[in-house]
Amino acid sequence: MIGEKRLFGIIALILGLIAGVMILLNVQSKGSVDLITLIAGIGVLYGSYLIYRGKTSILFGWGKTRLGALINLAIGVLTLLIPGGVGGTPSILAILSGILGFLSA
């Protein structure tokens, strides 16, 4: 059986991957490369990796999971609030990924 904390971690990983890919596709759809949006997309993907890696790690897994959740939550809130940022669905998915990441820690 899979535990509920691990299930929250997997759902957080999936939501974070979807959010990161959507942010990176937003960068690609524009004519020029927006460096801040590119860094935000890569940051969400890295935060999702840390959430997943923390759930499979034997030593200090809770720290990796919390750091990944904090990264996703912070980037999601910043991209939602900054004018001209990504906003919309990718930001909300990144915020949900961060919240579920905290629940899985």
CA–CA distance, 32 with 43 (Å, rounded to integer): 20
Considering the chain, what is the average pLDDT of its residues? 85
56-96: per-residue pLDDT in tens? 666 666 677 888 899 999 999 998 888 767 778 899 999 99
Domain boundaries, the chain: 4-30+37-104
* Contact predicate 75/40, CB 8 Å: yes
Q: What is the pLDDT of residue 61?
A: 63
17-62: per-residue pLDDT in tens? 999 999 888 877 777 778 888 899 999 999 999 888 876 666 666 6
